[in-house]
A and B are shown apart, each in its own frame.
Chain A
């Protein structure tokens, strides 16, 4: 090493790279320890008390809400959703918007009353199907979406003891639970209700429909939206209840899918064997579909009265919310 490159007075010492091969590494340099060991610095650490006012309850609750909801878009400073979960949410969201290009195509080719109009145009059946159709939405999309969103919502906190982060702050267990509930409902609602809204709106825009069309179809749209909201509430209640009783996101997710698909399958087998649709009252999806058919005024696929499905839905929601609230209010954070 040339002597002029060695700074014996201090500062940075420069040396040739130890493993230079000679083919271009001649320029390589490495910074080694500064020789000015006699110098030192003491950092003064002073604690400055804060005399601001802490915000009200809604601000604290909003902090919980945004932590969970914004995490879907970015985990920087928010709850972490696995990239695959985010990808799945995006795929489901885009898939739920597929009728929109079809509507565009229909208006583009002037398919008045034709195949495209029948399959994707605004009518009672299609509005029902956008939210409550079995395939693909309630077989492949909504249950899966709920399972991935709700899976770790409370179970992660239970598994890692991170619920303590909330419970050692002025946040009641009721606030904690309700904000988790609202966060899940908003994420599901964004995909399910927003896609429904976008579908309806795009039909009006693409077909340049006027007020008369709006007056005709708006009540149907609102009824469909009510059915969609009941679906979001029911799936959120069942999913969060399962998340609150487990310490693994896998159990909560699989448990939710088992309930949705399992009850449907058992009811179907009983119908095939005994010719009664009564057992569909235990299937959340079928209760929602039945209620949705009633709301949108389309012929029912079920023989039993709609009141049974409505009562069953109320019972499912009540039991789930009771389980969720009682589990969280009695939760002792012993795991850390």
Chain B
């Protein structure tokens, strides 16, 4: 019998910690990520940027280990042939044009001049900067600079893309196009780590998330699965209807429902520990109530509230 040799995961972090003097950046963090798009979430100071800097070999872990494709990036830079990185606020060479800048960085990956120029022009076109690629970076707006950073991260077609707040400062059109690219790259089997403060954007890109708080890993996995694991916080279903009290009468007799509330006029809030079971009985009750329902929402089943619950629990 032969053992099949498995490729190491794109990112493997084993009990890594990073202290800046008395301040803890990352605290005993372990995770493995390989393939697809993963959102890295957490409030300011949660350790998202520190995590990315550890991965990019910019800082050394005080304890534990970090591996990219099985290699320690602090000691060996070879994994960076396969990694593209957009940092939160990287300084650019202000005097260079966008094309010169991306070409220079492409050449740092070992491309020939022709390859670098051709490839740089393509990625700049891709991020919608063809018109201004001969302009100096010093004259670029914040959103344009973000797009230049994304272009230079993509120029060598990396297998792992680490994006620290990549949409920060981008206009809605640029956000949409960049998000669709990220989804597409994820579908192509690339591993993408993306952090953002705008949770809706992460939700639109991926359901696979990592949640950090105070440098600790609070949760990892599918957004809805994590929400399902939070037993202490019941799921809520908010129904806007004509007569909430009569509708509540019908719901309280059902097994999965353990409480009801009337948060506002014409509103009924159902509390349950089993969201799918509640949704299973919901259509028949609505039909039997014989009243007009204007909306049904799950206010808890989003990233925002999940993050809120987890951070409260974490602290």
Query: Which residues of chain A have a CB within 8 Å of any CB of chain B?
Result: 43, 45-52, 54-57, 59-60, 63-64, 67, 75-78, 80, 160-162, 164-172, 332-334, 336
* Bound CA–CA A45/B97 (angstroms): 21
Interface bracket on B: 35 or more
Do the beta carbons of B90 and A167 come within 8 Å of each other?
no
Do the beta carbons of B107 and A63 come within 8 Å of each other?
yes
User: Does B141 interact with chain A (Cβ within 8 Å)?
Assistant: no
User: Does B95 interact with chain A (Cβ within 8 Å)?
Assistant: yes
The interface residues of chain B lying within 8 Å CB-to-CB of A63 are 104, 107-108, 110
Do the beta carbons of A54 and B81 come within 8 Å of each other?
yes
Do the beta carbons of B87 and A52 come within 8 Å of each other?
no
The interface residues of chain B lying within 8 Å CB-to-CB of A59 are 107, 110-112
Known: A45-B126, A55-B111, A63-B104. A168 touches B59 (CB 8 A): no
Do the beta carbons of B126 and A165 come within 8 Å of each other?
no
Give the distance to chain A from B86, nearest Cβ to Cβ, in Å. Answer: 10
The interface residues of chain B lying within 8 Å CB-to-CB of A336 are 87-91
Known: A168-B80, A171-B108. A51 touches B157 (CB 8 A): yes
Do the beta carbons of B93 and A162 come within 8 Å of each other?
yes
The interface residues of chain A lying within 8 Å CB-to-CB of B245 are none
* Bound CA–CA A249/B184 (angstroms): 44
Give the distance to chain B from A155, nearest Cβ to Cβ, in Å. Answer: 14
Which residues in window 184-200 of B have CB below 8 A to A? 184-185, 188
* Bound CA–CA A312/B188 (angstroms): 60
Q: Which of A49, A50, A64, A334 has the most CB of B within 10 A?
A: A50
Do the beta carbons of B109 and A170 come within 8 Å of each other?
yes
User: Does B67 interact with chain A (Cβ within 8 Å)?
Assistant: no
Give the distance to chain A from B114, nearest Cβ to Cβ, in Å. Answer: 10
The interface residues of chain A lying within 8 Å CB-to-CB of B180 are 45
The interface residues of chain A lying within 8 Å CB-to-CB of B87 are 164, 168, 336
Give the distance to chain A from B253, nearest Cβ to Cβ, in Å. Answer: 53
Do the beta carbons of B108 and A333 come within 8 Å of each other?
no
The interface residues of chain A lying within 8 Å CB-to-CB of B123 are 47
* Bound CA–CA A212/B109 (angstroms): 51
Do the beta carbons of A55 and B96 come within 8 Å of each other?
no
User: Does B211 interact with chain A (Cβ within 8 Å)?
Assistant: no
* Bound CA–CA A78/B188 (angstroms): 34
* Bound CA–CA A160/B188 (angstroms): 35
Chain A residue, CB-CB nearest to B87: A336
5 A-B pairs with the lowest CB-CB distances in the bound complex, closest first = A55-B110, A77-B100, A63-B107, A333-B58, A50-B157
Do the beta carbons of A77 and B109 come within 8 Å of each other?
no
* 21 contacting pairs across A/B (C-beta < 8 A): A45-B181, A46-B126, A47-B184, A50-B119, A50-B156, A52-B111, A57-B110, A63-B110, A64-B108, A77-B97, A78-B104, A165-B90, A168-B56, A168-B85, A169-B77, A169-B80, A332-B59, A333-B58, A333-B59, A334-B20, A334-B58
The interface residues of chain B lying within 8 Å CB-to-CB of A56 are 110
The interface residues of chain B lying within 8 Å CB-to-CB of A43 are 128
Cross-chain contact of A47 among B85, B93, B112, B126 (Cβ < 8 A): B126
Give the distance to chain B from A67, nearest Cβ to Cβ, in Å. Answer: 6
User: Does B122 interact with chain A (Cβ within 8 Å)?
Assistant: yes
Give the distance to chain B from A219, nearest Cβ to Cβ, in Å. Answer: 42
Give the distance to chain B from A170, nearest Cβ to Cβ, in Å. Answer: 4
Give the distance to chain A from B217, nearest Cβ to Cβ, in Å. Answer: 22
Interface string of B67-98 (1 = CB under 8 A from A): 00000000011111101010111110101110
User: Does B103 interact with chain A (Cβ within 8 Å)?
Assistant: yes
Which residues in window 136-162 of B have CB below 8 A to A? 154-157
The interface residues of chain A lying within 8 Å CB-to-CB of B20 are 334
User: Does B57 interact with chain A (Cβ within 8 Å)?
Assistant: yes
The interface residues of chain B lying within 8 Å CB-to-CB of A334 are 20, 53, 58-59
User: Does B115 interact with chain A (Cβ within 8 Å)?
Assistant: yes
Q: Which of B20, B111, B180, B184 has the most CB of A within 10 A?
A: B111
The interface residues of chain B lying within 8 Å CB-to-CB of A80 are 93, 95
The interface residues of chain A lying within 8 Å CB-to-CB of B89 are 336
Known: A169-B80, A171-B77, A333-B58. A161 touches B109 (CB 8 A): no
The interface residues of chain B lying within 8 Å CB-to-CB of A51 are 157
The interface residues of chain B lying within 8 Å CB-to-CB of A161 are 90-91
User: Does B170 interact with chain A (Cβ within 8 Å)?
Assistant: no
User: Does B105 interact with chain A (Cβ within 8 Å)?
Assistant: yes
Do the beta carbons of B109 and A52 come within 8 Å of each other?
no
Cross-chain contact of B78 among A49, A160, A170 (Cβ < 8 A): A170
Do the beta carbons of A48 and B60 come within 8 Å of each other?
no
User: Does B302 interact with chain A (Cβ within 8 Å)?
Assistant: no
Known: A47-B184, A77-B103, A161-B90. A54 touches B58 (CB 8 A): no
